[in-house]
Amino acid sequence: MSELVPKDFQIPETLEADKFRLRMLTIRDIDLDYEAVMSSIIHLQETQPFGPDHKWPTKKLTHEQDLIDLGWHQKEFQNKTSFAYTVMSLDESICLGCLYIYPPPNSEYDAMIMMWVRESDKSLDEKLFNAVKQWVSDEWPFKNPGYPGREINWEEWKSLSE
């Protein structure tokens, strides 16, 4: 598998907008992340930010399982194999969602970018998406990032991967 980003690429640390800040997701975010996820289960299952076949999250997700997920995301970020950002309120008191930049499962795109916002702040979804698109265009080395479920429907995305 080819690298997601060049070895010498300086990973952007943050994206700050008028209502939110993106920064690396770490295990220190566990309590706020877990609260955001668990308070938004139905919203996340309905909006399917990871596709219609993905059933995350469920009510069975434990604090410990979420901590393991966050540790995994943190390690992959450090290894530059994928990048998970937490979307925080500017005062860092509320986790508003997450952004994920993954290697694509097909050769049509050079990155797979997905994001979600918590149910109580779902009005931020479009602002987050637009800010991320501009940030990726301005700061990341991708020539053709894919935004499945947003700019390409999940069925078409999945067919490219088969």
What is the per-residue pLDDT across 50-65, written as a single tens digit (0 to 9) for each?
A: 888 888 888 999 999 9
CATH of the domain at 113: 3.40.630.30
Burial (0-12, 13-18, 19+ Cβ within 10 Å), 22: buried
Distance of alpha carbon 113 from alpha carbon 117, whole angstroms: 14
Determine if the peptide bond prior to 103 is cis (ω within 30°): no
Identify the domain containing residue 139 by its residue range. 14-160
Q: For a pLDDT cut of 90, what percent of the chain falls above it?
A: 86
Q: Which residue has the higher pLDDT, 99 or 106?
A: 99
Distance of alpha carbon 123 from alpha carbon 40, whole angstroms: 14
Q: Token pair of 90, please?
A: 């500017």
Whether 121 is in a domain gets the answer yes
Contact present, 116 and 80 (Cβ < 8 Å): no
| Tens digits of residue pLDDT in 16-54 | 999 999 999 999 999 999 999 999 999 998 888 888 888
| Tens digits of residue pLDDT in 117-147 | 999 999 999 999 999 999 999 999 999 999 9
Whether 8 is in a domain gets the answer no
Q: What is the pLDDT of residue 127?
A: 97
pLDDT band (50, 70, 90) for residue 2: low
Distance of alpha carbon 161 from alpha carbon 155, whole angstroms: 10
Edge-to-edge strands, sheet with 111-117: 14-16, 21-24, 83-88, 95-102, 111-117, 145-146
Distance of alpha carbon 98 from alpha carbon 86, whole angstroms: 4
Whether 4 is in a domain gets the answer no
Using the predicted structure, report yes or no on whether residue 162 has a pLDDT greater than 80.
no
Q: Token pair of 57, please?
A: 């999250």
| Tens digits of residue pLDDT in 83-100 | 999 999 999 999 999 999
Distance of alpha carbon 25 from alpha carbon 105, whole angstroms: 23
Query: How many domains in the chain?
Result: 1
Using the predicted structure, report yes or no on whether residue 1 has a pLDDT greater than 60.
no
**Dmax of the chain from CA atoms?**
43
Mean pLDDT of the chain: 94
Q: Helix, strand, or coil here: 79?
A: helix
Determine if the peptide bond prior to 57 is cis (ω within 30°): yes
